[in-house]
């Protein structure tokens, strides 16, 4: 056994638990990782194949063409966009760029399970603030948790795994009340699925406030989870700092070209997102008709706060051929997938419904 000590902070760090994978040869629907159930478009597969012939070379370190295309689509300057190996990695780079050892990062909890890990790796200290029983972030409580040691506030909207989006008035109040030298990170991994008319507009908040950073990803709505492309949008000086913290050549040439092809196919991909939003409504309505209390979802998943029944529900669901994501003792997150998967899931849920 190695005697080399690991960092003390690692001792009580929970590992990232990936969603269950479909066993080889099994007929099962994977609703455990918020993936897009649609396979890549032919144009995206063609871009991947074209890029494959160049993999003896390092990729363009600054993903220039992709960065420009993202900037053009968001109406921001290319200097404001920093790509990375999934937005999880970009979050790590943001924290590394601004946190000194021991600085505090205020975060909602339960929220994205990568947060405590990324915060600890950056040498910072996470300050969890409970999410409401309705699954909504408590923005006044997040603002109230700020101390002189606070460097960052993480705002996950829509919140993974509970589903609701932060509203514009709530965000405006938070941004008005926190010090200007505290960074507010809006993790918008599911922004393309938001239909709530009251939802906050991250780009507008960024235009108005110099201490805002947006995180977005090609993993969910664009269906490129396997290629690892995400990005931050920030004011140029912050963006430069995030770039300095980034893994060199973090986004592969294959991933860059696939993301570019996906932006070109945006209309077709957003039609798929519309279909998933329809399916989300069917899943939510079906569960509520069975008597379940389900928080509003503005993402591609729904949340059942099953408490200590969570693991048992996930096992029953797996036996029926649907893999969901249990958070032991807390709840179960069910991604929106194929209509057949929704049907099966609703059958499982009916068997254990509260009435
Ligand atoms: C899925 C997800 C991400 C994005 O992950 P990638 O690393 O881009 O695949 C970021 N934040 C939240 C809250 C997520 O659920």
- Using an 8 Å Cβ cutoff, are 246 and 82 in contact? yes
- Residue 265 scores a pLDDT above 70: yes
Decide whether any atom of ligand 1 lies within 6 Å of the 107 Cβ.
Answer: no
What spacing in Å lies between the alpha carbon of 115 and ligand 1's midpoint?
A: 10
Residue 310, phi then psi, degrees to nearest 5: -60, -50
Residue 230 Cα: closest atom of ligand 1: 8
Average the pLDDT over 119-142 and give the result: 97
Q: Could you give the angle at which helices 266-289 and 253-264 cross, rounded to 10 degrees? A: 80
- Residue 251 scores a pLDDT above 80: yes
Average the pLDDT over 31-59 and give the result: 97
Closest CA to ligand 1's atom 12: 189
Q: How confident is the model at residue 27 (pLDDT cuts 50, 70, 90)?
A: low
Residue 271: its pLDDT value, please?
98
- Residue 191 scores a pLDDT above 90: yes
Residue 11: its pLDDT value, please?
84
Residue 175: its pLDDT value, please?
98
- Residue 258 scores a pLDDT above 70: yes
Higher pLDDT, 27 or 138: 138
In this prediction the pTM is: 0.96
What spacing in Å lies between the alpha carbon of 189 and ligand 1's midpoint?
A: 5
- Residue 345 scores a pLDDT above 90: yes
Q: What is the CA radius of gyration of the chain?
A: 20
Mean pLDDT, the chain, rounded, equals 96
Decide whether any atom of ligand 1 lies within 6 Å of the 223 Cβ.
Answer: no
Average the pLDDT over 296-306 and give the result: 97
Sign of CA dihedral 241, 245, 249, 253: negative
Residue 10: its pLDDT value, please?
85
Residue 353: its pLDDT value, please?
78
Residue 90 Cα: closest atom of ligand 1: 7
Q: How confident is the model at residue 18 (pLDDT cuts 50, 70, 90)?
A: confident
Residue 217 Cα: closest atom of ligand 1: 8
Decide whether any atom of ligand 1 lies within 6 Å of the 185 Cβ.
Answer: no
To the nearest whole percent, how much of the chain has pLDDT over 70? 99
C-alpha separations of 38 from 185, 188, 222, 270, 339 in Å: 29, 21, 9, 12, 12
Please report the domains of the chain, with CATH numbers, ordered by start residue.
Answer: 19-40+267-351 (3.90.1150.10), 42-264 (3.40.640.10)
Residue 214: its pLDDT value, please?
98
Higher pLDDT, 16 or 306: 306
Q: What confidence tens digit (pLDDT) does each residue in 118-130 have? A: 999 999 999 999 9
Average the pLDDT over 43-61 and give the result: 97
| Secondary structure of 166-221 in HEC code, one letter for each residue | CEHHHHHHHHHHCCCCCEEEEECCCHHHCCCCCECCHHHHHHHCCCEEEEEECCCC
Residue 25: its pLDDT value, please?
63
Residue 24: its pLDDT value, please?
65
- Residue 209 scores a pLDDT above 90: yes
Decide whether any atom of ligand 1 lies within 6 Å of the 219 Cβ.
Answer: yes
Residue 329: its pLDDT value, please?
93
Average the pLDDT over 290-314 and give the result: 97
DSSP 8-class letter at 153: E
* 59-73, 231-245, 275-289, 340-354: least confident range: 340-354
Residue 151: its pLDDT value, please?
98
Residue 112 Cα: closest atom of ligand 1: 13
Average the pLDDT over 149-176 and give the result: 98
Residue 255: its pLDDT value, please?
98
Decide whether any atom of ligand 1 lies within 6 Å of the 112 Cβ.
Answer: yes
Q: How confident is the model at residue 26 (pLDDT cuts 50, 70, 90)?
A: low
Q: Count Cβ atoms below 10 Å from residue 73 Cβ, excluding itself.
A: 11
Average the pLDDT over 160-168 and give the result: 98
Average the pLDDT over 165-192 and give the result: 98
- Whole-number Å distance between alpha carbons of 22 and 322: 9
To the nearest whole percent, how much of the chain has pLDDT over 90? 91
Which one, of 76, 127, 118, 71, lies nearest residue 98 by Cα?
Answer: 118
Q: How confident is the model at residue 19 (pLDDT cuts 50, 70, 90)?
A: confident
Q: How confident is the model at residue 352 (pLDDT cuts 50, 70, 90)?
A: confident
Which one, of 54, 29, 81, 88, lies nearest residue 213 by Cα?
Answer: 81
């Amino acid at each position: 056994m190695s005697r080399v000590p690991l960092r003390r902070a690692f001792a009580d760090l929970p590992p990232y638990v990936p969603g269950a994978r479909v066993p080889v040869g099994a007929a099962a629907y994977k609703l455990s990782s918020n993936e897009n159930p649609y396979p890549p478009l032919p144009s995206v597969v063609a871009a991947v194949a074209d890029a494959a012939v160049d993999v003896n070379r390092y990729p363009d370190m600054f993903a220039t063409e992709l960065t420009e295309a993202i900037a053009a689509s968001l109406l921001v300057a290319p200097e404001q966009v920093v790509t990375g190996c999934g937005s999880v990695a970009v979050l790590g780079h943001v924290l590394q760029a601004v946190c000194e050892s021991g600085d505090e990062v205020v975060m909602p909890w339960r929220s994205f399970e990568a947060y405590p890990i990324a915060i600890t790796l950056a040498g910072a200290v996470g300050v969890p603030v409970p999410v409401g029983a309705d699954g909504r972030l408590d923005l006044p409580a997040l603002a109230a948790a700020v101390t002189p040691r606070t460097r960052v506030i993480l705002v996950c909207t829509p919140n993974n795994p509970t589903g609701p989006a932060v509203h514009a008035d709530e965000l405006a109040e938070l941004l008005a009340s926190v010090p200007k030298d505290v960074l507010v990170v809006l993790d918008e991994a599911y922004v393309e699925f938001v239909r709530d008319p009251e939802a906050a507009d991250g780009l507008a908040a960024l235009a108005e406030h110099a201490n805002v950073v947006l995180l977005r990803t090609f993993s969910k709505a664009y269906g490129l989870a396997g290629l690892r492309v995400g990005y931050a949008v920030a004011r140029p000086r912050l963006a430069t700092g995030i770039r300095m913290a980034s893994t060199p050549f973090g986004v592969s040439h294959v991933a860059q070209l696939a993301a570019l092809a996906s932006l070109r196919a945006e209309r077709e991909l957003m039609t798929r997102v519309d279909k998933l939003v329809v399916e989300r409504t069917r899943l939510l309505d079906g569960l509520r008709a069975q008597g379940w209390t389900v928080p509003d979802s503005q993402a591609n998943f729904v949340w059942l706060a099953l408490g200590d029944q969570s693991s048992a529900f996930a096992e029953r669901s797996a036996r029926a051929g649907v893999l969901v994501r249990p958070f032991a003792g807390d709840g179960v997150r069910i991604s929106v997938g194929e209509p057949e998967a929704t049907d099966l899931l609703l059958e499982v849920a009916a068997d254990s419904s509260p009435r």
